């Protein structure tokens, strides 16, 4: 405890060890010692208690401790229990409807119907549970991908390890944007921390190694940091004193996060649609029941049977779990393409994304920088030739190393770098220019008195360092902004006041470098006055001496140009929003094909003053737009404006300050490799390779998922028409035409023959033109006119005509004429059974054709290949085997009122799939011949934009 008498925790380690029973084995002794530890005791004592030192643990000791304490993880609370899940499935509103239907069947005495309905309910529940489990596993697996990494010092060397591998006694480095992965006592430095995960208080608090007063509660201790909290600024070093479940957070088990059960907009739509369809099923059941008994003269029992059959046929069971699964499968496919989705809804949102706001460094470019040129008043030099001696070069290189938080070490065959890529490149660049960076780096850490960390708004970073001749400020940052803070320039002959001509010369050199796509930094320094440690930032970064420029090369990433072309063909607009200078970005944008000519480059500060309507107009009218020197707030304003215009916006970000924009965007995209934990948490998608190409891939997968759900729905809905139409014909004919289908046959189609092919359609690969279509409208419904027309009217009517034709053909062939009785005991009874079996087999055959037709929405089957969806082929094989069992197994025939079909019937049936598929192929051919209309792909955006432009002009 923090204060008070000498508790066991306040004893010397030796004293404490002595008080433990000697019989304990060494591991248990160590464990108990740790439990009795006081993280607020004197730092040297704490280090001794933890058996560590400032240089960190040795690798072997860390491994031993990991085995002893276990991985640094907070165990998750178990998910929903199995029996609860089963009950949830069985009590689902649609299931309740089916229970009611089976109840009716029992009352009416049709036990076979009742049993089949119960089988449908149970099978659906099992099916839904399996799919749910599979979807959950996919999301869990994704979570594991997004494991955090932490910076530690082990064996005296800074390195990065998985957060799960942290052990008590590890020395950790904490910096801006990082989430604490263990409970830590600060040893050096100060940081600002967002404690909201623990306290709910989101105002950042200062935590410093230099504690000024004792705290009443451990959570308020000034020198402690806790797992789960966020560092929002500063740099510090600390020692881990608790990990995993032993941490504050672990103890209060506040991190019992479970897989979210949030419904996606798509699922909500489907849920809603499913309910509507169920209502439709009930109503049509009631109407047909009335028509059957009153108009067609059916017995009460027969009518009820039919009403139940139709109701069951129309209840779209299994729709929701299949969609969840389709989303999860999509998320898994995206993960394979290096985009991790944190929430399933994002998968479908990605599919409708129409604007991508991307940053430049590391996303469009490699983010592995190398210094190409150094520039000072004395001229321009490339590293790698003779060492740079004398002023202004030595001051420039010194500043590049001192005002730097990264590290670089020469190893066999190259450089090992950690930290910010710009900064580590400066170190390597300085080394190649002859600076002794190994010595300077060691000295740098010891000599640093203060760090004014890189500020995305000021676009610079400054350090206060004690050098042998006294304290110095060293600054680096965006050249022109830095130049504004300078009053002198370093020359070979010493410092002299900056003239207007000097400023123009620096600016011209900077522009020349930027136009080549180089990233340029300015460097400056000045002797610090006494009390500089307390000076406000603006005062510290003033009256500087300009030293020179450093131009870094950061070439475009491989694959980005192709991804950009893909996005442009897909009607996606790309807006580059970057902190870097306009000319640099424009050059890179040209190299990767984001812009063809002269883009409109707007500077962040200029956008800031722009009133909202003008910002909206700018974004609406300027397609080829680049936003340079942006601030995090600029991103937020742009997202807001684009969203208010109805766009679905994906926005990248990596810093702490990007979090609000990432949250506000429809899809916030964080960088897995280089971004901060804060950005990763705010984002919905994390790119494991930081590349723009992965964004394009994710959008493509999102479109595939949406498409597949539509295909699946089209297929499932198509069978409703051939089931309903024959019955309507029977009812309208007043019974003069016999019943074309039994209720049990309808159930058999629903239960046995539909499910697997439907599921297989949810796993279709993308259509070839998927990235050549314009994006979907944000509000485009899943069950839009085009899906319903295609399912019910197009495929459905063709199927109904074929099925009814087959039924009448069999009857007529057997000598039936209108009005002839076909009941049991009549001469035409067998013919009627065969005709009904023909209807049943006809629907199955038509659905085989529909399954192939539904595989594409516009493309022809030839372009994707007949056998490319294996699961579908298996599904169809299963469907046919199931139908054959009902038709040919003697013990099933009396149950289903079926009769064996002969070669003539089978030959006719064989044409059905080809006709259904062929008719739809024609429809798709016709669709392809005209340009995509809004209704075809739920899209109007590109057309909208063109209209808007035409109106304005």
Neighbours of 864 (CB within 10 A): 17
How many whole angstroms from its chain centre is CA 934? 27
Beta-carbon contacts of 433 under 8 Å, excluding residues fewer than 6 positions away, are 371, 374, 381, 383, 384, 387, 388, 393, 397
Shortest Å, Cβ 499 to ligand ATP:
23
- Residue 483: half-sphere exposure toward Cβ, Cα within 13 Å: 22
Identify the DSSP state of 254. Answer: T
Closest among 212, 240, 204, 257 to 74, alpha carbons compared: 257
CA dist 387 → 397, 434, 549 (Å): 11, 4, 17
Q: Which of 232, 235, 251 is nearest to 655 (CA)?
A: 232
Q: d(Cα 62, Cα 243) in Å, to the nearest integer? A: 13
From residue 651, alpha-carbon distances to 26, 198, 363, 451, 545 in Å are 53, 29, 12, 30, 38
- Please identify, using beta-carbon distances, which residue of 654 and 764 lies nearer to ligand ATP: 654
Q: Nearer to ligand ATP by C-beta: 190 or 576?
A: 576
For residue 235, give every residue at least 6 positions away whose Cβ sits within 8 Å of its Cβ, in sequence order, or none.
Answer: 173, 174, 175, 176, 189, 191, 405, 451, 453
User: Which C-beta is closer to ligand ATP: that of 349 or that of 578?
Assistant: 578
Q: How far is the CB of 361 from ligand ATP (least distance, A)?
A: 3
Nearest approach, Cβ of residue 335 and ligand ATP (Å) = 24
Q: What is the DSSP letter of 594?
A: S
**Most distant CA atoms of the chain, gap in Å:** 120
Task: Output the residue with the shortest Cβ distance to ligand ATP.
Answer: 579
Query: Which residue, 72 or 404, is less far from ligand ATP as judged by CB?
Result: 404
Which entry of 359, 580, 654, 658 is annotated as an active-site residue?
Answer: 359
- As measured in angstroms, the least distance from the Cβ of 725 to ligand ATP is 60
* Adjacent-strand bridge partners of 405: none
Smallest distance from ligand ATP to CB 7, Å: 45
Q: What is the DSSP letter of 57?
A: B
Nearer to ligand ATP, 377 or 580 (CB): 580
CA gap 313, 101 in Å, rounded: 11
Min dist. Cβ of residue 585 to ligand ATP (A)? 7
Secondary structure (DSSP) of 791-854? IIIIIHHHHHHHHHHHHHHHHHHTT--TT---STTSTTHHHHHHHHHHHHHHHHHHHHHHHHHT
We find the least distance from the C-beta atom of residue 762 to ligand ATP, in angstroms, to be: 37
- For residue 906 the two structure tokens come to 């089978």
Query: Residues 775, 777, 780, 785: is their CA dihedral positive or negative?
Result: negative
CB–CB of 96/315 below 8 Å?
A: no
- Candidates 848, 837, 846; CA nearest to 809 is 837
Beta-strand relationship, 407-411 and 600-603: unpaired
Query: Which residues are at the interface with ligand ATP (CB under 6 A)?
Result: 359-361, 420, 422-423, 454, 456, 459-461, 476-478, 521, 578-581
Q: Least distance in Å: CB of 130 to ligand ATP?
A: 43
Q: Which is nearer to ligand ATP, 142 or 628 (CB)?
A: 628
How far apart are CB 360 and ligand ATP at their closest, in Å? 3
Helix or strand holding residue 61 (H, E): helix 59-69
Cβ distance to ligand ATP smaller for residue 139 or 578: 578
Q: Which is nearer to ligand ATP, 560 or 756 (CB)?
A: 560
User: Catalytic residue at 359?
Assistant: yes
Residue reference for tokens 């190994």: 438
By beta-carbon proximity to ligand ATP, the closer residue of 456 and 927 is 456
Residue (11 or 401) nearer to ligand ATP, CB: 401
Q: Tell the residue number behind the tokens 């009904």, with chain if given.
A: 836
Look-up of token digits 């000097």: 502
Mention every residue, 6+ apart, whose C-beta is less than 8 A from residue 703.
350, 351, 570, 766, 770, 771, 773, 776
Least separation, in Å, of the C-beta of 235 and ligand ATP? Answer: 12
Catalytic residues: 359
């Amino acid at each position: 405890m923090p204060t008070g008498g000498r508790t066991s925790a306040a004893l010397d380690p030796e004293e404490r060890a002595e008080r433990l029973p000697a019989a304990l084995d060494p591991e248990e002794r160590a464990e108990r010692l740790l439990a009795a530890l006081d993280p607020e005791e004197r730092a040297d004592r704490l280090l001794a208690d933890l058996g560590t030192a400032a240089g960190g643990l040795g690798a072997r000791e860390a491994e031993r401790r990991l085995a002893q304490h276990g991985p640094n993880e907070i165990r998750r609370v178990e998910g929903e229990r199995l029996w609860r899940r089963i009950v949830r499935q069985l009590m689902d509103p649609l299931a309740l409807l089916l229970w009611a239907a089976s109840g009716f069947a029992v009352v009416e005495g049709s036990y076979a119907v009742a049993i089949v309905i119960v089988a449908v309910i149970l099978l659906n529940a099992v099916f839904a549970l399996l799919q749910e489990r599979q979807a959950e596993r996919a999301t869990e697996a994704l979570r594991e991908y997004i494991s955090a990494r932490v910076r530690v010092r082990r064996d005296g060397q800074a390195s990065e390890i998985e957060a799960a591998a942290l052990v008590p006694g590890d020395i950790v480095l904490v910096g801006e944007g990082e989430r604490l992965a263990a409970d830590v006592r600060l040893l050096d430095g100060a940081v600002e921390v967002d404690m909201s995960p623990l306290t709910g208080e989101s105002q950042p608090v200062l935590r410093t190694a230099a504690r000024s007063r004792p705290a009443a509660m451990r959570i308020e201790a000034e020198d402690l940091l806790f797992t789960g909290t966020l560092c929002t600024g500063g740099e510090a070093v600390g020692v881990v004193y608790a990990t995993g479940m032993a941490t504050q957070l672990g103890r209060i088990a506040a991190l019992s996060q479970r897989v979210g059960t949030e419904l996606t907009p798509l699922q909500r739509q489907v849920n809603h649609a499913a309910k509507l369809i169920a209502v439709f099923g009930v109503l049509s059941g009631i109407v047909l029941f009335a028509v059957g008994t009153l108009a067609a003269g059916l017995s009460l029992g027969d009518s009820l049977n039919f009403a139940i059959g139709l109701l069951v046929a129309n209840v779209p069971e299994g729709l929701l779990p299949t969609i969840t699964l389709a989303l999860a499968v999509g998320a898994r496919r995206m993960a394979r393409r290096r985009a991790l989705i944190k929430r399933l809804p994002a998968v479908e949102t990605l599919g409708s994304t129409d604007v991508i706001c991307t940053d430049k460094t590391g996303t469009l470019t490699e983010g592995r920088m190398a210094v190409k040129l150094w520039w000072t008043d004395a001229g321009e030099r490339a590293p790698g030739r003779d060492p740079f001696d004398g002023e202004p070069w030595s001051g420039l290189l010194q500043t590049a190393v001192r005002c730097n938080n990264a590290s670089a070490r020469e190893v066999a065959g190259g450089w090992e770098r950690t930290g910010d890529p710009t900064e580590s490149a400066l170190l390597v660049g300085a080394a190649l220019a002859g600076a002794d960076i190994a010595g300077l780096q060691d000295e740098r850490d010891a000599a640093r008195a203060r760090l004014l960390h890189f500020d995305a708004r000021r676009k610079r970073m400054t350090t206060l360092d004690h050098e042998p001749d006294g304290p110095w400020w060293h600054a680096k940052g965006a050249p022109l902004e830095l130049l504004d803070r300078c009053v002198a320039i370093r020359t070979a002959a010493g410092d002299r006041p900056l003239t207007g001509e000097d400023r123009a010369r620096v600016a011209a050199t900077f522009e020349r470098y930027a136009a080549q796509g180089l990233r340029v930094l300015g460097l400056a320094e000045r002797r610090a006055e006494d009390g500089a440690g307390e000076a406000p930032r603006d005062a510290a970064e003033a009256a500087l001496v300009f030293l020179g420029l450093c131009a870094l090369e950061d070439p475009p990433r491989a694959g980005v140009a192709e991804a950009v072309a893909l996005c442009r063909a897909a009607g996606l607009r790309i807006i580059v929003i970057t902190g870097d200078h306009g000319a640099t970005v424009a050059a890179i944008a040209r190299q990767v094909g984001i812009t063809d000519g002269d883009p409109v480059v707007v500077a962040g500060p200029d956008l800031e003053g722009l009133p909202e309507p003008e910002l909206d107009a700018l974004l609406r009218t300027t397609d080829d737009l680049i936003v340079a020197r942006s601030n995090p707030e600029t991103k937020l304003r742009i997202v807001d404006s684009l969203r208010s215009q109805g766009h679905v916006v994906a926005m990248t970000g990596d810093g702490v300050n990007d979090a609000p924009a990432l949250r506000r965007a429809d899809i916030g995209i964080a960088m897995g490799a280089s971004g901060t934990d804060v950005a990763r948490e705010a984002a919905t998608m994390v790119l494991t390779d930081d590349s723009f190409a992965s964004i394009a891939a994710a959008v493509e997968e999102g479109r595939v998922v949406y498409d597949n759900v539509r295909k699946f729905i089209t297929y499932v809905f198509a069978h409703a028409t051939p089931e309903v139409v024959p019955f309507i014909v029977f009812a309208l004919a007043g019974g003069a035409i016999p019943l074309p289908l039994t209720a049990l046959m309808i159930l058999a189609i629903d239960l046995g023959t539909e499910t697997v092919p439907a599921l297989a359609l949810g796993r279709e690969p993308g259509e070839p033109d998927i990235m050549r279509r314009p994006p979907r409208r944000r509000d485009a419904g899943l069950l839009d006119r085009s899906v319903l027309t295609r399912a019910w009217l197009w495929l459905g009517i063709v199927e109904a005509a074929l099925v009814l034709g087959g039924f009448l053909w069999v009857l007529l062939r057997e000598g039936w004429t209108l009005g002839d009785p076909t009941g049991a005991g009549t001469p035409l009874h067998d013919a009627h059974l065969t005709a009904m079996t023909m209807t049943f087999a006809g629907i199955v055959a038509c659905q085989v054709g529909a399954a192939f037709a539904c595989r594409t929405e516009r493309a022809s089957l030839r372009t994707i290949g007949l056998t490319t969806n294996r699961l579908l082929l298996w599904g169809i094989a299963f469907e046919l085997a199931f139908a054959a069992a009902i038709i040919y197994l003697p013990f099933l025939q009396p149950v289903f009122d079926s009769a064996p079909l002969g070669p003539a019937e089978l030959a006719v049936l064989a044409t059905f799939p080809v006709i259904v598929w062929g008719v739809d192929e024609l429809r798709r051919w016709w669709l392809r011949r005209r340009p995509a209309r809004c209704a075809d792909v739920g899209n109007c955006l590109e057309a909208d934009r063109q209209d808007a432009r035409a109106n304005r002009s």
